[in-house]
Chain A
Amino acid sequence: MRLTRYQRPDLWSWSGFSRLTNLQDEINRLFEGSVTNGRGSDVFNSWAPTMDVYEDADNLIVRAEIPGMKKEDIEISFQGSVLTISGERRSEKRVEGAQPAREERFFGRFTRSVSLEKQVNSGAIKANYKDGVLTVTLPKAEEAKPRQIEVQS
C-alpha cells in the first residue's frame, strides 16, 4: 500500500522533491488563476487531512479527518487503483469589524491520494461524511476476496 506522504499542517518543513507532485499541482493551480486566502502560495501553507486505511474480508475502508467541511465541497475520485480525496475548506465570511485573536485552522484546497493494492469494484464505492470524518468504503473485487477452497476427497 503506497500513500502520499502525510504533511502535518502545523509542522511544515521543506522536504525537497518528495512534494514535487504537490508543487506541480500548485503551479498548475497558480496558472489557473485561483488565489489562495491571502497567505500566498499553498506550497508553503498547504494542509492535508489525516488518512487511515482499514481492511476487512469484503472491503477496504479509507477514513479521513476533515472537520468543518460542507459535504458538497468534498470530491472523491477513483482511477486505476488510486483513490483521491480532494476538496476545499472555505472560511466563513468575516463579520465587519471582527478582529482575529487566534488563527490555527487551515483553509483552502487539499488533495490526498492512496494507491490500493487490492482490486476494487469501483462501481460500488460508497462515501459517508459524519462528524467531520469522511469514510470511503471500497468493496473488493471478487478475485481479491479471500476464499476458502474445499478439499475434495
Chain B
Amino acid sequence: MNNDVVTQEKRAVREQAQHPQSPATQRWVQPAVNIVETGEGYTLEAEMPGVSKDGLEVLLDGNELTIIGRKNPFTGQAHLVYRESNDYDFRRVFELDPVIDASRAVAKIENGLLRLELPKAERVKPRKIAVE
C-alpha cells in the first residue's frame, strides 16, 4: 500500500503489523483504513463490518493507539451453505504522531465504519500571526 508515505519522516501514524502484546491465542484481522491529515488533525476511517458500538474498543496508551472491533455473530437456526466472511475480530495498532492531542480524540462507528478524529494539539496547529 502506501508504505512510502508512511515511512516518510513527517508521516501520519505508523502502524505496527506485529504487535508484541497481541494475544497469541486469538486471531485477528486488520481492518482496512484510510488516514487523512489536515492542519487540524488526522481522520482515521477503519472498515469493521458487523461491529456495533458495543463491540468497539479504542485504546490510547501513551502514543500507541489500538482499535479493536468485535463482530456480532450471526445468530439463528440457519445453517451455513456458503461462506466468504470470517469470524475473526478486528485489531490494529498505530503509533501516534506526537502532535496529536489524544485527550480530544473522538470515535464513532456507523454502518460498520469507524471514524476516529485525532486533533492536533493547539500549539502545533498552523496559525496566522497578526501584523501590528
Contact = CB atoms under 8 A, between A and B. Distances in A.
Interface of A: 1, 3, 6, 10, 50-57, 59-61, 63, 65-70, 94-95, 97-106, 129-133, 135
Given A53-B82, A56-B76, A101 B12 contact: yes
Contacts of B37: 98-101
A67 B47 contact: yes
Contacts, number: 130
A1 B79 CA distance: 14
Interface of B: 1-2, 5-6, 11-13, 32-39, 42, 45, 47-52, 72, 74, 76-85, 109, 111-113
Main secondary structure of the interface of B (DSSP, over half): loop
A102 B33 contact: yes
19 contacts: A53-B80, A54-B79, A55-B78, A55-B81, A59-B78, A63-B74, A66-B112, A68-B45, A70-B111, A99-B36, A100-B2, A100-B5, A101-B11, A102-B5, A105-B32, A131-B52, A131-B72, A132-B51, A133-B49
Given A1-B82, A67-B112, A104 B34 contact: yes
Given A101-B11, A104-B34, A132 B48 contact: yes
B56 to A, nearest CB: 10
